[in-house]
Amino acid sequence: MTAETLTLAASGGTATPAGLDPSSPLAVRGLTVSYGEKPALFSVDATFPAGAMSAIVGPNGAGKSTFLKAALGLIPAVSGEVRIFGAPLAASRDRIAYVPQRASIDWDFPTTVIDVVLMGRYRKLGLLRRVSKAERATALDALARVGMEGFAERQIGQLSGGQQQRVFLARALAQEADLYLLDEPFAGVDAATEKAIIEVLKSLKEQGKSVIAVHHDLSTVAAYFDHVFLVNVRAMGEGPVARAFTPEALAQTYGGRLAATQLAELALTTG
Ligand SMILES: Nc1ncnc2c1ncn2[C@@H]1O[C@H](COP(=O)(O)OP(=O)(O)OP(=O)(O)O)[C@@H](O)[C@H]1O
Ligand SMILES: [Mg+2]
């Protein structure tokens, strides 16, 4: 019996255990993840709203990437429940697209930009099926949406960091998912690329998709996102940005690592 069936059995066989909102694209309860003795996440509850842009905010080492990886089943959880639109992960993988943190990707693998985007289709295509003209067109369309249509045949390793980030967003777009999980999509990109990426994410939201992104730039949280989840090993707060993204909550999340002047500035941008 797998851990998942065990969990289902423990919860009486229902798809959505008590306290987990079935309409949420991602809801977790009591999520604890540990790489060693000290947990990276401890008993975290979080519920993200559907059809919205949500930010995951917290200091370096807070467990933000770990949260996404555990939600995707890429690393095992010690305990906890994860539901994707009310269903267990195994039943929902096709509905999720994931763009990992850039530093975690091996950019030297020999493959072209168009092939990287087509990888986003493999779950739908099956690995061994030949790529049809329509699939190629979908991939090229995704590249065009991120302004990378001229780079299809380029080796991925020969692109700049910001261009690589755009290509991975194109791969996620080609997946035609309902939930987009992005780990620091704006890290190391210039202002023009940041604007291009945020426009793409906003268009996803307009199509009713749910977007959840780890985000480091506290000064743009209020402008970009509807909902925020604050984390530092433990869940430190969540809710609509206007209500949950307060200087008090930030001070608690960052544990004194933000200067009073920074907090005052943020109060101005959110107020
Ligand atoms: N593979 C791993 N093995 C051991 N410890 C790990 C591993 N990955 C992460 N950690 C540890 O778990 C904690 C959370 O890491 P995580 O990458 O989730 O943080 P983060 O919030 O994404 O940080 P950042 O803002 O720097 O990306 C950190 O203390 C980190 O050192
Ligand atoms: Mg991270």
Boundaries of domain holding 103: 20-235
pTM: 0.88
**Helix (H) or strand (E) run with residue 137 in it:** helix 133-145
> Is 10 part of a structural domain of the chain?
no
> Is 182 part of a structural domain of the chain?
yes
> Is 225 part of a structural domain of the chain?
yes
Angstrom CA distances, 154 to 110, 115, 173, 197, 267, stand at 10, 10, 19, 20, 44
> Is 14 part of a structural domain of the chain?
no
Ligand that lies nearest to the alpha carbon of residue 60, given by its number in the listed order: 1
Q: Which protein residue has the closest C-alpha to ligand 1 atom 16?
A: 63
pLDDT level of residue 244 (50, 70, 90 thresholds): very high
**Ligand 1 centroid vs 131 CA: distance in angstroms?**
37
What does the pLDDT average to over 140-159? 93
pLDDT level of residue 124 (50, 70, 90 thresholds): low
Query: Residues 227-230: contacts with CB within 8 Å, 24+ apart?
Result: 227/48, 227/49, 227/52, 227/53, 227/54, 227/55, 228/54, 228/55, 228/56, 228/57, 229/46, 229/48, 229/54, 229/55, 229/56, 229/57, 230/57, 230/58
**Ligand 1 centroid vs 136 CA: distance in angstroms?**
36
Mutational pocket test of ligand 1: of 33, 38, 42, 65, the residue with most ligand atoms within 8 Å of the beta carbon: 65
> Is 98 part of a structural domain of the chain?
yes
> Is 6 part of a structural domain of the chain?
no
Total domains in the fold of the chain: 1
Query: Chain-wide mean pLDDT for the chain?
Result: 87
Q: Which two tokens stand for residue 99?
A: 């763009």
Strands 26-34 and 39-48 come out as antiparallel
pLDDT level of residue 102 (50, 70, 90 thresholds): confident
> Is 227 part of a structural domain of the chain?
yes
- Is a pLDDT exceeding 50 seen at residue 2? no
Mutational pocket test of ligand 1: of 32, 34, 64, the residue with most ligand atoms within 8 Å of the beta carbon: 64
pLDDT of residue 269: 58
> Is 258 part of a structural domain of the chain?
no
Ligand that lies nearest to the alpha carbon of residue 36, given by its number in the listed order: 1
- Is a pLDDT exceeding 90 seen at residue 262? no
- Chain centre to alpha carbon of residue 91: 18
- Ligand 1 interacting residues, C-beta cut-off 6 A: 35, 40, 58, 60-66, 101
- Chain centre to alpha carbon of residue 49: 13
- Is a pLDDT exceeding 80 seen at residue 189? yes
- CATH number, position 145: 3.40.50.300
What does the pLDDT average to over 15-31? 85
- Give the atom of ligand 1 at the shortest distance from the alpha carbon of 101: 27
Query: Under DSSP, is residue 50 helix (H, G, I), strand (E, B) or coil?
Result: coil
Ligand that lies nearest to the alpha carbon of residue 56, given by its number in the listed order: 1
